[in-house]
Structure 1
Amino acid sequence: MALALSITALTGCFDGSEDVTQSADATAQTQDDRLKLAMLLTPRTGLSPLSDDAFKFSRWSVGETLVFLNAEGTLEPKLATEWEQITPNDWRITLREGVMFHDGTKMDASAVANALDKAANAAPKPRILDGVDWTVKTDGDNAVIVSSKEPDPLLAQRLSSPQLTILAPSAYGENGAINPESTATGPFRLVKLNGSSTATVDRFDGYWGEPAKLAGIDVSFVPDGIARASALRTGEADVVEAIPVSQAPLLDPSMIREVAMPRTNTLYANMNSSVMKDAGMRAAVREALDRQQLIDNVYESRADIGVGLLGPALPWAAKLRQPVAAPVAPSDPQGVEIVLGTYTDRTELPEVAVYLAQQLTEAGFTVKQDVREYSQIEQDALAGKFDLFILSRATMLDLGDPVAYMSSDFTCEGSYNLAQLCDPAIDDAIEAASVLPAGEARQKAIMKAERLILASDAAIPLLHERVIQGESKRVREAIADPRERLIISTQTHLVSSDSAK
């Protein structure tokens, strides 16, 4: 029997903030303004939407997806106006009419099917499609049918991931090459990416929805947190991602927005390393940690103790969490040497590494640190070249649901498995959670999987972060988004210096 779960079109879309009425004169004054945006991470794949670079596309309102996940975790229309599960395996997606790509071509069913097909057949797949096998076909000119090999109760939510941004056919070249310049559909158009230093983004006047108030965005990639904070103080940036906690007290409080994030600072133990493959050694690492010292001394109390993989941004997790049964007893390290790695892009992590190295040394380990920029260290981390690796990890980045994160990080075939973890029981638990519809049963299954992961000591949660966003006094309607999908919207604009006082 077909399932009639049609979602009808809604008017408007979530912009993360309350409307602020501006006079006609003030609005007109800002129409030609360009906003200066300082970003944390440099592009890793030339802004390919099939990677985490997709979230930059999304944050600038350049790339768009078929559906949109609002602040409450509810799906809203974007490039699709309706979505209907017509069988357990098949979903019909009705497309918005009148949408134009930035290259001037029309968005139709063929273009959407092409974009989704490129993602489904990419190597490696986007993280959002880990463990997912689907096919896409057109259904007339204005709809597509997405069919999953196995029933996927969250397929519609999956389509909200920035990694499934819809690009024009002209974006896709030979051998998997993707050119994101002038090929998306959003209110802003990527004009030029200048390597890993800057990007130029202009308003797209052919946008299907409400036009953007800003003329454009001048993006700078500034991995150094102190430099980002300095750019805000000096006026070199209007909006700044991820102000380091050490810099927050040096800024005008009116320029700071602090948001609780579903992001966990986690210590990954390499299950294949000569030292950490021993469960007793991993337990010794766990027992050596002083999380409160990290929060007090590194995060200046702007973080929460990591009691699990999922933090206070998911209130249901704490309610359903149960103790880990019979944890392994710690072994005596006896001075064994281990390599502890992390990256500089998140300013606090090198300092976290220093404190952890001290704690582990006191426990009997000999610790060697390896700290580099993320773009330089990621390949080694994925290849398992560290005994321990500190990672700041978003746990709800894709679906508003942590199963995709767990599948990516903790299954045998996971594409981001820094711990090199491969446990059939954990795979089965994550799979069991993945097939359940949203609700309490799915949440309980997720917490069972978390409990098994914690019992392995392959991932040892340290703390749950709060991200601090900086905004100059001229900025209006920028978005502080807990899911890190939005920062600039059509409503974002600048006011005159006199108005900002």
Structure 2
Amino acid sequence: MTIGETMPSSAPPRPRGGPSRTFAVVTALAALAAFPGCTVANSDAAGSTGTAGDTLRVVLAQEPPTLEPCEASLTSTGVVVRSNITEPLIERDPESGELEPLLATAWERTGPSTWSLDLRSGVTFHDGQEFTAEDAAFSIDRAVNSGLACNVDGYVFDGRDLEVEVTGDLSLSVTTEVPDPILPLRLSFIEVVPRTTSTEHKVREPVGTGPYVLDGWETGVSISLRRNDAYWGEPPAYPEARYVWRSEPSVRAAMITRGEADLATALNPEDATEDNSVAYPNNETVALRLDGREPPLDDIRVRRAIDMAVERDAIASTLLAGLAEPAAQLVPEGVVGHDPELRGTPTDPEAARELVAEAAADGAPIDRRITLVARNGMFPRVAETAEALQYQMAQLGLNVRIEMLDTAAHLQYQLRPLPENVGPVALLIMHGNQTGDAAFTASQYLLSEGAQSTFGTEELDAEIAAAGELSGADRQEALAGVLAHQNADVVQYAHVAHMRGLMGISPAVHYRPNSASGDELRLAEVRPAGREGS
């Protein structure tokens, strides 16, 4: 089924569950490109034995900033909340890309701008309330039409309001401002909450319909879940789950090795072995976002020069130990709009220096300090990657200083309203398009007023808008054109690498990570080793 098609009501639900230092770093890590920890382990758990303990133990890289369901499109929140505590109406299979029924059993386009949905019966919230169309409509209104400033509103719906009408106890219709062929895909990002949920404030303790209930959140220590015994779908194997967080990847890996954790996110290659980890495509793309509002980055020659200076092959193969491949666009293979023929800018420091010199001759203040902002823990060896980029930019005659920030501070640079009076910024980002459609990337990262864009052009804005109205092969071609246009005529982004992740997995459990696992770790899909088919 392609995005935008009618979903038949007979379809069954899927079973649920300092620059100079850089050279020393690169040299020391060169041998890691073939590190055995990059191979897949624990994918079958063949011959393993064991029974489910009471608690599934998960160690994260950081504590979630919030458990508010309308913020579940944020990675650090979604990895706990999404599909565990709360659920959407529709979900996208991360491997096939197909949309599948969840709390909605069928959907159909009944007009140019209107979709009708049928909902699942016999579903209750954790507090005992029965799930109805009133709750579904409320959840859409709360996430998209309210003043809560939910991340999903800007990221998925571009800030556009929806008209929602309850047409029966278990049916509703949704009307968009303009025709939207991928509305069902957008709805898959709204987590359903009961209509008694606050619309004045974001919640700390979410109530949902998911397979787990929030049992407690001890700030700075842990988050505990317990199995929802009234769950409408297949019950999860583990009665309880507990999240803790450790910022050091080596500590997370050691917890797997010592049997103190069952799953661990974002391991470093040097800490991974065939016995404690699995490599998987995590759908993330690393890039430098160049603030084109500020000199000297407002000069496209300087931005082009930076793009030409990035040594993608060396960063991907050496610093990232082979767990990445050079990137030429903001979305990886498998996302609608990805163009496999698009090639990354060839590294050419000499030509790049000529461009900078030309810009300087025309008055560009190339000695003005550029701040290269990166986030601690964004990916393994993020600090070394920032140092490599700093060195490569400095070789052009640019004045670059690194600033490593925590998640909250980094978000202030990443999202509008952007900080003022901070000078030119080259922001190291890692973008994961879990929607499977590049329109979401374009609306956030490429539009002139996009929530995560610093600038754009009228021509590119018009191209993005036109692509959003298309479907099928026409949509693919148009979105690929948008990404190529950014590279040729805008150059807000210097692409670095498409990433792969390393997830720590204990031999005691079976879990097969996929491209969504870094954002949506579905605990109901985890089984004790030896019980993979249960």
Normalising by structure 1, we get a TM-score of: 0.87
Q: For residue 502 of structure 2, give the secondary structure of its aligned residue in structure 1.
A: strand
Conservation of the 8 A alpha-carbon contact between 1:479 and 1:488 = no
Tell me the SS of whatever aligns to 2:467. Answer: helix
1:404 to 432, 440, 455: 440
SS of equivalent to 2:516:
coil
2:305 maps to a residue whose letter is A
Query: Which of the residues 318, 343, 350 maps onto 2:375?
Result: 343
Matches within 5 A, 1:37-436: 37-51=58-72, 52=74, 53-58=76-81, 61-70=84-93, 71-123=95-147, 124-125=149-150, 126=152, 127-161=155-189, 164-174=190-200, 176-181=201-206, 183-248=207-272, 251=273, 253-314=274-335, 317-319=338-340, 321=342, 330-332=355-357, 335-346=367-378, 347-382=380-415, 383-384=418-419, 385=422, 387-394=425-432, 396-397=433-434, 399-417=435-453, 420-436=454-470
Aligned CA distance change for structure 1 residues 245 and 48 (closer, same or farther; 3 Å): same
Q: CA deviation at 1:244?
A: 1.9
- 2:22 aligns with none
2: CA distance, partners of 1:362 / 1:487: 41
Q: Residue 196 of structure 2: SS of its match in structure 1?
A: helix
Change (3 A) 1:255 1:21: closer
What SS does structure 2 have at the residue aligned with 1:100?
coil
- Matches of 1:38 and 1:323 in 2, distance apart? 35
Distance, in Å, in 2 between the alignment partners of 1:58 and 1:408 is 23
- Equivalent pair of 1:266/1:460 in contact (CA under 8 Å): yes
Over residues 441-478 of structure 1, what are the superposed CA-to-partner deviations in whole Å (9 max), with x where a residue is unaligned? 111111111012223111111011001111000012x2
Q: Gaps spanning 5+ residues in structure 1: where? A: none
Which segment is superposed worse, 187-196 or 103-112? 187-196
Q: Partner amino acid for 1:388?
A: A
Q: Which moved more, 1:480-489 or 1:329-338?
A: 329-338
SS at match of 2:339: helix
Match of 2:6 in 1: 5
Q: Deviations over 1:73-94 (max 9, x none)?
A: 1111100111111111111111
CA–CA distance in structure 2, aligned partners of residues 177 and 151 of structure 1: 30
- Equivalent-residue separation in structure 1 for 2:498 and 2:16 (angstroms): 25
Task: Indicate conservation of the 8 Å contact 2:66/2:77, yes or no.
Answer: no
- How far apart, CA to CA, are the structure 1 residues paired with 2:102 and 2:138? 18
Unpaired runs of 5+ residues, structure 2, are 18-41, 346-350, 361-365
Using the TM superposition, give the Cα deviation of residue 121 of structure 1 relative to its aligned residue in structure 2, in angstroms.
1.7
**What is the distance in 1 between the residues matched to 2:318 and 2:86?**
39
Q: How many residues align?
A: 476
1:73–1:4: structure 2 CA closer, same or farther, 3 Å change rule? Answer: closer
Q: What is the percentage of aligned positions where both structures have the same residue?
A: 22
Ranked by relative contact order (alpha carbons within 8 Å, sequence separation 6 or more), the top structure is 2
Distance 1:151 1:178, change over 3 A: same
Q: Which amino acid aligns with 1:264?
A: T
TM-aligned CA deviation for residue 373 of structure 1? 1.4
State the SS of the aligned residue for 1:36: strand
The C-alpha deviation readout for 1:347-369, integer Å capped at 9, x for no partner, is 32111101111111122112111
Q: Is the 8 A contact 2:90 2:102 kept in 1?
A: yes
Does the 8 Å contact 1:133/1:150 carry over to 2? no
TM-aligned CA distance change 1:286 to 1:431, over 3 Å: same
**Contact 1:168/1:184 (<8 A) preserved:** yes
CA distance in 1 between counterparts of 2:528 and 2:11 reads 28
Instruction: State which of 483, 486, 508 in structure 2 corresponds to 1:474.
Output: 508
| Distance verdict in 2 for CA 1:212–1:19, change over 3 Å | farther
SS in 1 for 2:213: strand
